[in-house]
């Protein structure tokens, strides 16, 4: 049987929990669909394993294809050396260039078809800004590297729910003021395409949340639902996409409601993230839609307070690795 292509896993913030999660994921390799390689500093990973007493040998590789052959016995690492030694919980801007290079190399590997998808460990943007990082976050940086600036759409997913925030890292006031019909249409188009191509759903169903309580209640609680969201839903339906809304958000996420759609478009950050983190706090996966490659990430941050303790939970990274593998398998199949 042909071994599946490996996934490329980035370094993330070296002073955070990414290295520990990478090692823990390899220690649970029998629960993974695909092997993975780490684009990381092998000395750093060895040091973490030794300090925590984990039996996780490191195999330095020169090419992605070698990962499949060594993965059963050692964690394959494509070397990305750090500039300075790492102290857990204490990020150093000097290592920012290595963090960015790890992301860039994972993109190139996946673009070239040497890896099936890329999975990113959490970064610390404040430190990267000091190293010259000029993007709001991972998502925008990946879109820039791939030449599709503005096409990117964020999805958060777990086995029981998929949500897409139309506006993301802005204040609630800015989200309401900046919400547009075109942004909702774009998010719906990209989401429907991804559900077909990457999740194997032939006829995707989208639920579109309202912005205001009770989806505006016929204008009594705001005009945005009728004037901005409803036209977007109509446009999506005119394009053959099964979209329904605007729907009151307070009744959109219980189990019976979730059975009626494949993904929910949400109008602002917390409207999307509160339900998914309530339903599956440890197992949520961040997915970037709208890219020519597959990218997933654990849905949590660098957790500096846990770095070096070995207590960080690898559930979300495991879910991100397996979801990336499943998406890659779906994408490789022909679709009508």
Q: Which residues pair with 135 in a beta bridge?
A: none
Show me where the domains of the chain are located.
Answer: 1-151+291-335, 160-279
Backbone angles phi, psi at 255, to 5 degrees: -60, -45
Predicted confidence band of residue 135 (pLDDT cuts 50, 70, 90): confident
Beta bridge partners of 79: 40
Q: Given the DSSP bridges, would you call strands 295-298 and 118-119 parallel, antiparallel or unpaired?
A: parallel
Residues of the chain with pLDDT > 70, as a percent, come to 98
The predicted model gives 309-329 an average pLDDT of 96
Q: Is the pLDDT confidence value at 304 over 90? A: yes
Which residues are CB-contacts of 315 (< 8 A; sequence separation ≥ 6)?
282, 283
**What average pLDDT score do residues 44-57 get?**
97
The closest alpha carbon to 261, from 154, 160, 156, belongs to 160
Q: What is the DSSP letter of 214?
A: G
Is the pLDDT at 35 greater than 70? The verdict is: yes
270-293 pLDDT per residue, tens: 999 999 999 998 889 999 999 999
- What's the pLDDT score for residue 335? 57
CA dist., res. 50 & res. 97, Å (int): 26
| pLDDT tens profile 211-233 | 998 987 788 878 999 999 999 99
- Does the structure show a pLDDT above 80 at 316? yes
pLDDT at 4 over 90: no
Mean pLDDT of 130-145: 89
- Residue 40 burial (CB count, 10 A): 27
Cα 316 from chain centroid (whole Å) = 10
Task: State phi, psi for 84 to the nearest 5 degrees.
Answer: -130, 155
Q: Which residue is associated with the tokens 């897409």?
A: 164
**Residues 6 or more apart in contact with residue 111 via CB below 8 angstroms:** 146, 292, 293
Residue 80: strand pairing partners? none
Burial 168-180 (b: 16+ CB within 10 A, else e): beeeeeebbeebe
Residue for token pair 């999740």 = 199
Q: What is the DSSP string of 229-289?
A: IHHHHHHHHHTT-EEEEEE-GGGSSSHHHHTT-SEEEESSHHHHHHHHHHH-TTT-EEEEE
Q: What is the mean pLDDT of the chain?
A: 94
Instruction: Supply angle C-alpha 4, 7, 13, rounded to 5.
Output: 165
Cα 273 from Cα 162, distance rounded (Å): 10
Do the Cβ atoms of 175 and 167 come closer than 8 Å? Answer: yes
CATH top class, domain 1-151+291-335: alpha beta
Report the alpha-carbon distance of residue 124 to residue 302 in Å, rounded: 7
Average pLDDT over every residue of 281-308: 94
CA dist., res. 281 & res. 50, Å (int): 29
Q: Are 29 and 71 in contact (CB under 8 A)?
A: yes
pLDDT above 70 for 26: yes
* pLDDT over threshold 70, residue 167: yes
Average confidence (pLDDT) over 135-144: 88
d(CA 20, CA 47): 10
In this predicted model, what pLDDT tens digit does every residue of 74-108 receive, in sequence order?
A: 999 999 999 999 999 999 999 999 999 999 999 99
pLDDT over 90 at 236, yes or no: yes
- Binding-site residues sit at 138-139, 169, 214, 269, 277, 286, 295
DSSP string spanning 100-129?
HHHHHHHHHHHHTTSSS-EE-----HHHHH
φ, ψ of residue 113 in degrees (nearest 5): 80, 15
Q: Indicate the SS3 state at residue 7.
A: strand
Task: Kindly tell me if the per-residue pLDDT of 294 is higher than 80.
Answer: yes
Position 16 scores a pLDDT of 96
What pLDDT does residue 101 have? 96
Known binding residues for substrate are 138-139, 277, 286, 295
What residues pair up with 157 in beta bridges, in sequence order?
162, 285
Confidence of residue 1 (pLDDT cuts 50, 70, 90): low
Average of per-residue pLDDT across 123-143: 89
* CA distance linking residue 140 with residue 239, whole number of Å: 27
Confirm whether 1-151+291-335 and 160-279 share one CATH topology: yes
pTM given for the model: 0.93
Instruction: Supply the DSSP symbol for 16.
Output: T
Residue list for the binding site for a divalent metal cation: 169, 214, 269
Quick check: 23 pLDDT over 70?
Answer: yes
In this predicted structure, what is the pLDDT of residue 332?
A: 86
Superfamily for 160-279?
Answer: Isopropylmalate Dehydrogenase (3.40.718.10)
């Amino acid at each position: 049987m042909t071994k599946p292509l490996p996934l490329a896993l980035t370094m993330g913030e070296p002073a955070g929990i990414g290295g520990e999660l990478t090692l823990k994921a390899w220690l649970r390799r029998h629960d993974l669909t695909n092997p993975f390689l780490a684009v990381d500093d092998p000395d750093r990973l060895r040091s973490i394993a030794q300090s925590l007493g984990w039996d996780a040998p490191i195999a330095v590789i020169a090419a992605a294809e070698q990962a499949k052959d060594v993965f059963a016995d050692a964690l394959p690492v494509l070397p990305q050396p750090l500039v300075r030694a790492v102290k857990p919980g204490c990020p150093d801007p000097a290592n920012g260039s290595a963090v960015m290079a790890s992301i860039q190399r994972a993109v190139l590997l996946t673009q070239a078809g040497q890896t099936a998808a890329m999975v990113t460990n959490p970064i610390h943007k404040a430190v990267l800004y000091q190293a010259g990082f000029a993007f709001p976050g991972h998502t925008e940086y990946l879109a820039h590297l791939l030449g599709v600036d503005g096409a990117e759409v964020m999805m958060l997913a777990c086995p029981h729910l998929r949500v897409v925030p139309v506006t993301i890292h802005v204040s609630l006031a800015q989200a309401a003021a900046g919400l547009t019909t075109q942004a909702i249409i774009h998010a719906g188009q990209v989401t429907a395409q991804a559900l077909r191509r990457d999740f194997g759903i032939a006829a995707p169903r989208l639920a579109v949340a309202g912005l205001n309580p009770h989806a505006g209640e016929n204008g009594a609680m705001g005009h945005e639902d009728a004037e901005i969201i409803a036209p977007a839903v109509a446009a999506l339906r005119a394009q053959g996409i099964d979209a329904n809304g605007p729907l009151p958000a307070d009744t959109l996420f219980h189990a019976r409601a979730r059975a009626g759609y494949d993904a929910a478009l949400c109008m602002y950050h917390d409207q999307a993230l509160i339900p998914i983190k309530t339903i599956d706090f440890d197992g949520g996966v961040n997915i970037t839609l709208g890219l020519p490659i597959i990218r997933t990430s654990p849905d949590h941050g660098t957790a500096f307070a846990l770095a070096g303790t070995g207590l960080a939970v690898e559930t979300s990274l495991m879910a991100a690795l397996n979801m990336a593998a499943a998406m890659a398998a779906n994408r490789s199949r022909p679709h009508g």
